[in-house]
């Protein structure tokens, strides 16, 4: 069975600073995908970034990057130059190709002006 652990219920960051949101995962599958989603207060789920288990380079999408450490089974999200609009819930998730995506408990990020 797959599992995602997000140990930070809430995080604060100063505007324009970088922040790292932690995510560790557990799976016995060799092929899997790791995802981060953002959920603002409106409730929609916004796909941010994807990392495949066979990808050798860390994924980047604009201000988002994924610090993938396969041996440690961690997939931390790094947000650079935080903006007030980044305040939201962030969910880490894993999919092992069975079309079922497992989500972590989430981390609420607060960006301070």
Minimum distance from CB of 76 to another protein (Å)?
18
> In this structure, what are the phi and psi dihedrals at residue 74, rounded to the nearest 5 degrees?
-125, 150
Alpha helices in 9-111 (DSSP H): none
Query: Dihedral through CA 40, CA 3, CA 12, CA 61, nearest 10?
Result: -60
**Contact pick of 2, 33, 67, 73 for another protein (by CB under 8 A):** 33
Distances (CA, A) of 45 to 55, 63, 70, 71, 103: 24, 18, 26, 29, 12
Minimum distance from CB of 105 to another protein (Å)?
5
Q: Which is nearer to another protein, 85 or 98 (CB)?
A: 98
Q: Which is nearer to another protein, 62 or 97 (CB)?
A: 97
Q: Which residues would be at the binding site for another protein (CB under 8 A)?
A: 31, 33, 35, 37, 42-47, 50, 52, 54, 91, 95, 97, 99-101, 103-106
């Amino acid at each position: 069975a797959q599992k995602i652990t997000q140990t930070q219920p809430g995080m604060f960051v100063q505007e324009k600073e970088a922040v790292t949101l932690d995510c560790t995962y557990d799976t016995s599958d060799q092929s899997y995908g790791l995802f981060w989603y953002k959920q603002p207060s409106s409730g929609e789920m916004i796909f941010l970034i994807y990392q495949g288990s066979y990808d050798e380079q860390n994924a980047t999408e604009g201000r988002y990057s994924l610090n993938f450490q396969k041996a440690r089974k961690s997939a931390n999200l790094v947000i650079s130059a935080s903006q007030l609009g980044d305040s939201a819930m962030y969910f880490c998730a894993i999919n092992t190709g069975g079309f079922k995506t497992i989500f972590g408990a989430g981390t609420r990020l607060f960006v301070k002006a």
